[in-house]
Amino acid sequence: MKSSPSTTRKGPADHRARKRFGQNFLVDPYIVAGIVSAINPQRDDHLVEIGPGLGILTESLLPCVTAMDAIELDRDIIPKLAQNCSDKGQLQIHAFDALKFDFTELAQDGRPLRIVGNLPYNISTPLMFHLLEKHEVIRDMHFMLQKEVVDRLAAEPNSKSYGRLTVAMQYHCRVEALMEVPPESFSPAPKVNSAVVRLTPYSEPPVTVHNVRLFEKLVTQAFSQRRKTLRNTLKPMLSAEKMASLGVDPKRRAETLSLEEFACLANAVSESEGESV
């Protein structure tokens, strides 16, 4: 279901954006329409919006579903959000920090969550990792992020953007960069470009990992000093000889390894420590 650009409000003239909350309010109705089209909400979907602000996106999503939840940290903005959305549908607002919110509480009815949000740049990465811990109750996530972050999420090996976030997210989710969003689409306008990404958690990961925590530890260790070779960065976990026996040249750097190769190395460490899941 698509939103008509002519029905959305012009901007947050009645609320001053707060820097401590990382607020940059989306004001472009055509971008809103594009996001709603990408989400394609259905009547019975369980939508959850993180950081709805004054509700420009919420207003377009509410009529598409029977009800939705919103998580908003700024208590001063909540009455305005409720007023703006009062005639659009049933909205349950949770005055809470999304970084500390237990999303499994919203999935008690058995419906997987469809999460959407214009995420503050300063919390976007930790928030995505927080959500990954609850991936079993999430159907998909549509986020507005700093374009640089979206580039990192969707990066391929041997690229400058490829790193720990890339590997961790691509292990758990299918990543699709959907659209770029210029600074003038926000108020106040940020100093960086933004982009919208779709993250769809896998029912089964694309590679086999025996111990996920160990896999994450190895990836973090490998990228801890990007300019150094695997021989140096992974020395505490895996010998150069063992890497070579697995077909991974210890002279390579972390950004050259595929998801499959990281899984192979992590599984070797797991086996050597006699661990399994």
Residue 54 Cα to chain centre, angstroms: 21
Q: What are phi and psi of 47, to 5 degrees?
A: -85, 140
Compute the average pLDDT of residues 192-214.
96
The pLDDT value recorded for residue 14 is: 54
- Asked if 210 contacts 276 with a C-beta cutoff of 8 angstroms, the reply is yes
Query: Which domains does the chain show, CATH number per domain?
Result: 5-201 (3.40.50.150), 212-272 (1.10.8.100)
* Alpha-carbon torsion (226, 228, 231, 232), positive or negative: negative
- The pLDDT assigned to 257 comes to 98
Judged against a pLDDT cut of 50, whether residue 4 lies above it is answered with no
Q: Using CA atoms, how far apart are residues 86 and 70, in angstroms rounded to an integer? A: 13
Q: What is the pLDDT of residue 23?
A: 63
CB 33 within 8 A of CB 80: no
